[in-house]
């Protein structure tokens, strides 16, 4: 059986994400990408013109998924909404690692990459507004301590996302456990 002649854009972006996470932006290049895809290297150019466009599109796709999922949260109960939001972030825990290299992308000769990175920036702002709104409401409702500054509460909340799941429990259980530890602390 011969090699598959082409690959889908989804396969291209999935592979890009994996390779950027493994090798970093600087270690990622189109030759490496083509070595991990089944099909001709020229197929890459049917979708994107260069490395910058591919990586920016990958970043956009990841944050668009997070944004879409976060927008479906029912915010009536602020604490439940925060729990759901943490689950969404834990599901895509590599988001910050992936976006950490966005500043390295040269958009001067790549309008597509520039548009995608603008989307990423706007989505990040939208998510930040949602998170801040939920934290402020939770505090007003008496569900969060008033003596701890909100930036500290939010910072610890975000650090939960990067907590290694050494028990290898399913993501829903893991995010629930993290939320319970965050809200209840470790004291008995």
Residues 154-179 have pLDDT tens digits of: 889 988 998 999 999 999 999 999 99
What integer best gives the mean pLDDT of the chain? 91
CA dihedral 156, 60, 100, 176 (to 10 degrees): 20
- Give the start-to-end residue ranges of the domains of the chain: 1-47, 51-184
Give yes or no for a contact between 120 and 102, defined as CB atoms under 8 angstroms apart: yes
For residues 97-117, one letter each, b for 16 or more C-beta atoms within 10 angstroms of the residue's C-beta and e for the rest, the string is: ebbebbeebebeebebbbebb
Average pLDDT estimate for 108-132:
94
pLDDT score for 2: 45
pLDDT, average across residues 28-56:
91
Residue 69 half-sphere exposure toward CB, CA atoms < 13 A = 16
Residue pair 101/20 in contact (Cβ under 8 Å)? The answer is: yes
Look at residue 1 and tell me whether its pLDDT is greater than 60.
Answer: no
pLDDT for the residue 184: 86
The rounded distance, in Å, linking the Cα atoms of 169 and 130 is 28
From the candidate CATH numbers 1.10.760, 1.10.12, 1.10.10, 1.10.8, the one assigned to the domain spanning 1-47: 1.10.10
Of residues 57 and 187, which shows the higher confidence score? 57
Query: What kind of architecture, by CATH, is found in domain 51-184?
Result: Orthogonal Bundle (1.10)
Helices then strands, each counted (H, E), the chain: 9, 0
CB 60 within 8 A of CB 119: yes
The pTM for the full model equals 0.87
Q: Read off the pLDDT of residues 51-61 as tens digits, 9 standing for 90 and up.
A: 999 999 999 99
């Amino acid at each position: 059986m011969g090699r598959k002649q082409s690959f889908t854009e989804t396969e291209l972006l999935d592979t890009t994400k994996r390779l950027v996470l493994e090798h970093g932006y600087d270690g990622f290049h189109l030759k490496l990408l083509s070595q991990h895809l089944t099909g001709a290297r020229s197929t890459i150019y049917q979708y994107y013109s260069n490395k910058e466009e591919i990586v920016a599109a990958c970043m956009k796709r990841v944050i668009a998924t997070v944004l879409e999922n976060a927008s479906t949260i029912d915010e009536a109960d602020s604490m439940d909404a925060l729990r759901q939001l943490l689950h969404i972030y834990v599901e895509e825990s590599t988001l910050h690692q992936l976006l950490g290299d966005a500043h390295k992308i040269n958009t001067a000769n790549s309008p597509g990459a520039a548009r995608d990175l603008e989307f990423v920036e706007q989505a990040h702002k939208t998510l930040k507004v949602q998170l801040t709104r939920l934290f402020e409401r939770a505090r007003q409702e008496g569900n969060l301590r008033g003596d701890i500054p909100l930036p500290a509460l939010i910072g610890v909340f975000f650090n939960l996302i990067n907590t290694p799941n050494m028990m290898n429990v399913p993501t829903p259980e893991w995010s629930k456990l993290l939320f319970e530890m965050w809200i209840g602390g470790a004291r008995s």
